[in-house]
Amino acid sequence: MRFFHYICRVNICVMPKTVTLQLSPKQAADEKFYIAQVAQRLGIRQSDIALARVTKRSIDARQRMAKVNLTLEVYIDNEPQPEPLHFDYPTVENTTEVIVVGSGPAGLFASLRLIELGYKPILLERGKSVLSRKHDIAQINRGGNIDPDSNYAFGEGGAGTFSDGKLFTRSKKRGDYNKALQTLVWHGANPAILYEAHPHIGTDKLPRIISNICRTITEHGGKVLFESKVSGFVVKNKRITGVRVGDNTVEGAAVVLATGHSARDIYELLYSSGIAIEAKPFAMGVRIEHPQRLIDSIQYHREERGEWLPAASYSLVNQEAGRGVYSFCMCPGGFIVPAMTDSSQTVVNGMSPSGRNSAFANSGLVTEVRLEDFAHLRAEWGELAGLRYQQQFEELARAHSGLKQVAPAQRVSDFVAGKESKSLPATSYIPGITPSRLDRWMPDAISERLRSGIATFGRRMKGFVTDEAIVVGVESRTSTPVRIPRDNETLMHVEIEGLFPSGEGAGYAGGIISAALDGERVADAVARYCIAHNY
């Protein structure tokens, strides 16, 4: 029996009252205060309120004094109230097995959805469990070796585990988005993500949530196998029947391939096996880091942000010489981290803890890379040309960074002026930075656009171009340079029956939530495929 097990026990007769308040940040943090305001606004006594819950919270920093907009749903005594949301996963121990490769957000949400639909996911992950992975990540931060199977990108939860945990998506399907957030809350995330305008979990909280999701999968009959790197596909007559893990073959009715955009060996394997992949445009650039107090003072129009306002963020975009230059994955109160997957590269990314309380604000600052930029690599590398271009950029950064995970950096004012930085300011990047002429050694198509983009942003945000800020190289893994093509309707690979590419690595998502939603959609498609073929 296959049915939808996600149950939202909400009484449809419920008609709560909606109240929107505009408050100071301090008032918005004081529940007693705003509940009293709600009662006054509705003309009732506080004791008449059975339930008041925040449904939306956003900060308006356009005026001199920042305000918090708070929307509440209010239930008055004797009115029916909504029951809490409940996930009721069935047991799938003895049902049809489906292989899921990769335990990032796409693979995890595909597995949960397969369970909801009555299928047994066999989740294969090349990396280690969160606990063991923590040690490897600590070692990378100390400048130690990089385990090519256990790092910021690979291991339980994929790139989403030691990420920032901003839960943003451009998906128009509100219901799916809300369900993804509810799933995270069900597995331990703070319910505030359900109403914050810019929901964020934080890198200190994510590992536990990810482990809880894996526990749900195993407790309901699925399998999660760590240190199980897929190194081959079993394909007969253009139909996939299993995958190779070491000397073993794992078989399943279908294969969800959710290996993320750092799994270069998977792209190479597909290409060398004659399974279609396509080079695609992507984006690369640098990470930019400012003192957080500087960003706060620009965004909140005052010296100190004070006790009640969160660390300020920004989002910047402009067209420079016909291409987009934009900030990406902005981490207020965060850290720059070494995100390479082997020791021949230097790659940085950003994250922040839930409290967003570091003294630094960082953001990716990237520009489009188009097919023509790596056309010269096409003859030798074919559809892997963009991947090779990305790899060369990372190796170049490594060549300019000296030892271990030390990253090349330049003061922002020097980068814009085309000058050497004789010294560098303090940074959140633990392995350390070294002065380098990023403006010179990055490909012109990237450095020239970033330079004019940063100058433009400096005119919009006074103080953004400063010698207190740095650009750090390189931010190269914002998106994948390769797509694994699939049919728009069946979501199956265009040539290989039973193979379902999913998530960021396949080119169908960018970010935690969109990868998770893609994993769910693909699981639905797998179920349709299995039903049609009686698997």
Ligand X SMILES: Cc1cc2nc3c(=O)[nH]c(=O)nc-3n(C[C@H](O)[C@H](O)[C@H](O)COP(=O)(O)OP(=O)(O)OC[C@H]3O[C@@H](n4cnc5c(N)ncnc54)[C@H](O)[C@@H]3O)c2cc1C
The least distance separating ligand X from the CB of residue 374, rounded to whole angstroms, comes to 22
353 binds ligand X (CB under 6 A): no
- Which residues in the 221-250 window bind ligand X by CB under 6 A? 229-230
* 107 belongs to the binding site for ligand X (CB under 6 A): yes
Nearer to ligand X, 171 or 456 (CB): 171
Q: By the 8 A CB rule, do 381 and 355 touch?
A: no
Contact status: 260 vs ligand X (CB under 6 A):
yes
Quick one: which segment of 26-34, 67-75, 301-309, 508-516 binds ligand X (CB under 6 A)?
Answer: 508-516
Q: State how far the Cα of 155 lies from the Cα of 262, in Å rounded to an integer.
A: 12
d(C-alpha 157, C-alpha 128), whole Å: 10
Interface segment toward ligand X; rule CB under 6 A; list 160-168, 206-214, 293-301, 429-437: 160-168
Identify which of 280, 333, 28 has the alpha carbon closest to the alpha carbon of residue 164.
333
> Which among 488, 520, 532 has a CA at the least distance from the CA of 117?
520
Does residue 101 bind ligand X (CB under 6 A)? Answer: yes
214 sits near ligand X (criterion: CB under 6 A)? no
Decide if residue 140 touches ligand X (CB under 6 A).
Answer: no
Q: Tell whether residue 385 is a contact of ligand X (CB under 6 A).
A: no
Q: Which one of 299, 504, 520, 522 is in contact with ligand X (CB under 6 A)? A: 504
DSSP states of 252-291 as a string?
-S-EEE---TT-HHHHHHHHHTT---EE--EEEEEEEEEE
Binding mask 325-344 for ligand X (x = CB under 6 A): ----x-------x-x-----
Considering only 16, 511, 517, 526, the residue that binds ligand X (CB under 6 A) is 511
Only one of the segments 87-95, 161-169, 248-256, 467-475 lies at the binding site for ligand X (rule: CB under 6 A); that segment is 161-169
Query: H/E element holding 480?
Result: none
Q: Report the residue from 74, 97, 98, 125 that binds ligand X according to the rule CB under 6 A.
A: 125
Q: Out of 16, 34, 99, 105, name the contact with ligand X by CB under 6 A.
A: 105
Shortest distance in whole angstroms from residue 390 CB to ligand X: 15
Q: Are 400 and 411 a contacting pair, CB within 8 Å?
A: no
Helices 105-116/174-186 angle, 10° precision: 90
CB 374 within 8 A of CB 476: no
User: How many CB atoms neighbour CB 173 within 10 A?
Assistant: 11
Counting beta carbons within 10 angstroms of the beta carbon of residue 390, is it exposed (0 to 12), middle (13 to 18) or buried (19 or more)? Answer: buried
| One-letter amino acid for residue 102 of the chain | G
Among 216, 241, 345, 349, binds ligand X (CB under 6 A): 349
Task: Name which of 217 and 509 has its Cβ closer to ligand X.
Answer: 509
- For residue 499, CA distances in Å to 23, 260, 445 come to 52, 15, 36
Nearer to ligand X, 195 or 508 (CB): 508
**Radius of gyration of the chain, Cα coordinates, nearest whole angstrom:** 24
Describe the crossing of helices 105-116 and 512-532 by its angle, rounded to 10 degrees. 40
Give the one residue of 38, 112, 124, 482 binding ligand X; rule: CB under 6 A.
124
295 forms part of the interface with ligand X (CB under 6 A): no
428 binds ligand X (CB under 6 A): no
Give how far Cα 318 sits from Cα of 179, 249, 513, Å: 33, 49, 25
Q: Is residue 114 involved in binding ligand X (CB under 6 A)?
A: no
Q: Which of 347, 20, 10, 340 is nearest to 153 (CA)?
A: 340
Give CA–CA dist 262/423, Å, rounded.
Answer: 33
Instruction: Tell whether residue 103 is a contact of ligand X (CB under 6 A).
Output: yes
CB of 447 to ligand X, least distance (A): 23
Based on the shown chain and the rule CB under 6 A, indicate whether residue 121 belongs to the binding site for ligand X. Answer: no
Binding residues for ligand X, rule CB under 6 A, total 44
Residue at 59: amino acid letter: I
Q: Is 263 in the site for ligand X (CB under 6 A)?
A: yes
Two tokens at 261? 């955009």
> Minimum CB separation from ligand X for residue 231, in Å?
7
Choose among 58, 91, 114, 117: nearest CA to 220: 91
Nearer to ligand X, 103 or 476 (CB): 103
Which residue ranges make up the site for ligand X (CB under 6 A)? 101-107, 124-127, 152-155, 158-160, 163-166, 229-230, 258-260, 262-263, 266, 329, 337, 339, 349, 351, 503-505, 509-513, 515
